[in-house]
Amino acid sequence: MCGILAVLGCSDNSQAKRIRVLELSRRLKHRGPDWSGLHQYGDCFLSHQRLAIVDPASGDQPLYNEDKTIIVTVNGEIYNHEELRKQLSNHKFRTGSDCDVIAHLYEEHGENFVDMLDGVFSLVLLDTRDNSFLAARDAIGITPLYIGWGLDGSVWISSEMKGLNDDCEHFELFPPGHLYSSKEGHFRRWYKPSWFSDTIPSLPYNPLLLRKAFEHAVIKRLMTDVPFGVLLSGGLDSSLVAAVTARHLAGTKAGTQWGTQLHSFCVGMEGSPDLKAAKEVANYLGTVHHEFHFTVQDGIDAIEDVIYHVETYDVTTIRASTPMFLMSRKIKALGVKMVISGEGSDEIFGGYLYFHKAPNKEEFHQETCRKIKALHQYDCLRANKSTSAWGLEARVPFLDKSFIDVAMSIDPEWKMIKPDLGRMEKWVLRKAFDDEENPYLPKHILYRQKEQFSDGVGYGWIDGLKAHAAEHVTNRMMQNAKHIYPHNTPTTKEAYYYRMIFERFFPQNSAKLTVPGGPSVACSTAKAIEWDAEWSNNLDPSGRAALGVHVLAYEPQVPSPRDAAASFSTSKMPLMVEGAAPGLTIMS
């Protein structure tokens, strides 16, 4: 991912202002260490820090139309850029960059071009013909973006909060799936999928359709001119990403210019569940596997850097970001600049263990919708910023727009967790890839139970964090927490410790408001309590404490011999409809 910073309509267009914009843009250099660019037009500045993934030789930004009347700075990847170029046959392109289509699309379609982009992006476009500008963010918020306002009436747009927090009177998160136009002066939602409505989906579960949609989402993300790999924890989601990627590379004559053998990466403490499972998956898929170890002290020493880069004080996010931050540095040291990761599956399919307690399909679906809409504040934030801290790009196929449309159109009755019918969490996804004739994964990996990333890297990690925080936060500090931090008051010593660090880097009131409320919001504690009152006794957001449904011994839930005998290859699966015989459609 790259880093963008735009200052639009400021009262000062002097050389001193240009130097200040350059100084602030350098705060984003970790996101794009390959090149930097700045375009000034009067009182508007568009800057860019580039991480070169596609067309590294000539794709520097900002980008322009033919006569340079339209200027664009973009952080993202446009996966359908080749198809869009064909539609723009009357235009001349300066580079081979996937983002080079944006200025020309705007010429042809105005602000409506945003919905034509298949990819992830945060962008600012300046139209010098009428001195207007627009900013837009991708559908789910995979790329980070913030917007701020100066006392002089200027509008500031930045990939990270640190690019504008010292110079804006007020700033906030730029909402995903929205566009901000200077012509209107407010946000407008451009992403309006059918699942946003209150209507509960009713389409029958089609496992082959789901599988094909995910394979397409993965394959389109192999668009790269630099070395890449996959993040592999050994859990269902990352293992499916790796399996589809490895199968695609092996099925092509030359794979990519980097060969047909996939590189995979895993991080964990010595003896952690993830390291063991990831190695098994890597051996099964034949990847070149890289295993990175860290200690509790390594993680604790990195906490301040993690909070500075990830820009949050949310407990769960920081716990999971730290191992990912450490791993990203190792991956970049190997010369890899892009990885594919498995974020988003749990939100789409109700994979978190408290979904076991969902009372009906309506509430199940509504909670998945709420979780997807909040991803930009949690898992997307973590995956993007903890990797971008080292100039590494993470791509997330589960959050592909087309795949989400397919997955969220399934009648949620199929997603419900029903042990009596042999359905564990994310059963519809597991079943879609349960191919007896040409297996994607071993059964016990395909049916491995959900493990929080911060738990899977080693249970000692969370315990070590708590112990460290207890040494630095006293009981008296906790007693007065509501006076020191009246907004989102921390309720644990660990949360207090993170908050102290965060506010040292970001003391502005606007900064603390960008983080969602409460230490356990990421685990949907409120909804979990509503579904099962026993959850109220658990203040820790870790998945290992989830309602007594977690299998502590990591016992894989594989199909029983009876169910296995009744199963069949999903490559020949018929359309599944309600009322179908359980013995033909269900595998535990």
Residues annotated catalytic, as ranges? 2
The pairing of strands 178-181 and 132-137 is: antiparallel
E-strand stretches of 150-296: 155-158, 170-173, 178-181, 186-189, 228-231, 263-268, 288-293
Residue linked to tokens 């306002």: 149
Residue closest to 30 by CA, chosen among 383, 387, 339, 377: 387
Q: Residue 374 carries which DSSP code?
A: H
User: Can you count the helices (H) and strands (E) in the chain?
Assistant: 23, 17
Q: Please, what is the angle between helix 315-333 and helix 379-388, to 10°? A: 30
| Burial classification of residue 419, based on how many CB atoms lie within 10 Å of its CB (0-12 exposed, 13-18 middle, 19 or more buried) | exposed
Calculate the alpha carbon distances from 162 to 13, 41, 169, 375, 541 in Å.
22, 24, 14, 21, 27
Q: How many CB atoms lie within 10 A of CB 246?
A: 23
Beta bridge partners, 524, equal: none
Longest CA span, the chain = 77
Is position 267 annotated in a ligand binding site?
yes
One-letter identity of residue 463: D
Is position 341 annotated in a ligand binding site?
yes
Query: Using CA of residue 340, residue 343, residue 344, residue 350, what is the dihedral sign?
Result: positive
One-letter identity of residue 469: A
Is position 98 annotated in a ligand binding site?
yes
451 phi-psi bin (left φ>0, alpha ψ -120 to 50, beta other): beta
Q: Please, what is the angle between helix 459-472 and helix 315-333, to 10°? A: 120
Contact 233, 456 (CB under 8 A): yes
Q: Please, what is the angle between helix 296-310 and helix 493-505, to 10°? A: 50
Residue linked to tokens 């200077």: 182
**CA 485, CA 482: separation in Å to the nearest integer?**
5
Is position 231 annotated in a ligand binding site?
yes
**CA 383, CA 156: separation in Å to the nearest integer?**
24
Residue 373, helix vs strand vs coil: helix
Using only C-alpha atoms, the chain has a radius of gyration, in whole angstroms, of 24
- Phi then psi dihedrals of residue 49, to 5 deg: -115, 120
**CA 23, CA 568: separation in Å to the nearest integer?**
61
Residue set of the binding site: 98, 231, 267, 341-342
Which residues contribute to the annotated binding site for L-glutamine? 98
Binding residues for ATP: 231, 267, 341-342
